[in-house]
């Protein structure tokens, strides 16, 4: 069976790189839904991993493993590249939804990926505010953080 594609925001990918409560659920989802991501996603995930190391939530060895897993993941995902139209759409989304700049770029990339027809398209997220905006935009949202028992 071939995995369907889904848009994954950076927060949903972190549990695939760093072992945490949501990791098992995220691993099941990535087997079913091949990630499509925003061009800057690897930088955002790397930032999260490095922050976890700096605040001593993970060891240096765990950081190295997480960055190696990120590298492997990035080889198989599809990236939505930046362009003027995506930037303009992200700016419009900031006026419409209470998003941070990086999150508006993620949502804009998801909308570009689906040709601005989000019905029946899946958006995988670990961020509540971004999840709410994606739902309002019309995506079927899978919330990684909400799936934890």
pLDDT tens-digit readout, 93-143: 999 999 999 999 999 999 999 999 999 999 999 999 999 999 999 999 999
Condensed to tens digits (0 to 9), the pLDDT of residues 45-84 reads: 999 999 999 999 999 999 999 999 999 999 999 999 999 9
> 141 forms bridges with which residues in the sheet?
123
Domain ranges of the chain: 4-147
pLDDT band, very low/low/confident/very high, at 2 (cuts 50, 70, 90) = low
| Residue 25 parent element (H or E) | helix 23-32
Under CATH, to which class is 4-147 assigned? alpha beta
Q: What is the 3-state secondary structure (H, E, C) of 45-111?
A: HHHHHHHHHHCCCCCHHHHHHHHHHHHHHHHHCEEECCCHHHHHHHHHHHHHCCCCHHHHHHHHHHH
| Predicted confidence (pLDDT) per residue in 5-54, tens digit | 999 999 999 999 999 999 999 999 999 999 999 999 999 999 999 999 99
DSSP state of 2: P
In angstroms, rounded to a whole number, what is the distance separating the alpha carbons of residues 149 and 142? 15
């Amino acid at each position: 069976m071939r995995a369907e594609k889904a848009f994954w925001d950076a927060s949903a990918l972190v549990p695939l790189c760093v072992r945490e409560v949501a990791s098992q659920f995220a691993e099941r989802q990535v087997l079913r839904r091949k990630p499509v991501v925003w061009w800057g996603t690897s930088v955002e995930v790397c930032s999260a991993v490095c922050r976890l190391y700096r605040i001593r939530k993970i060891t240096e060895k765990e950081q190295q493993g997480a960055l190696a897993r990120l590298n492997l993941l990035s080889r198989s995902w599809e990236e939505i590249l930046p362009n003027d139209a995506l930037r303009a759409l992200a700016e419009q989304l900031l006026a419409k939804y209470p998003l941070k700049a990086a999150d508006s770029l993620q949502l804009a990339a998801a909308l570009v990926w689906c040709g601005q027809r989000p019905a029946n398209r899946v958006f995988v997220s670990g961020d509540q505010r971004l999840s709410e905006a994606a739902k309002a935009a019309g995506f079927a949202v899978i919330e990684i953080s909400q799936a934890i028992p």
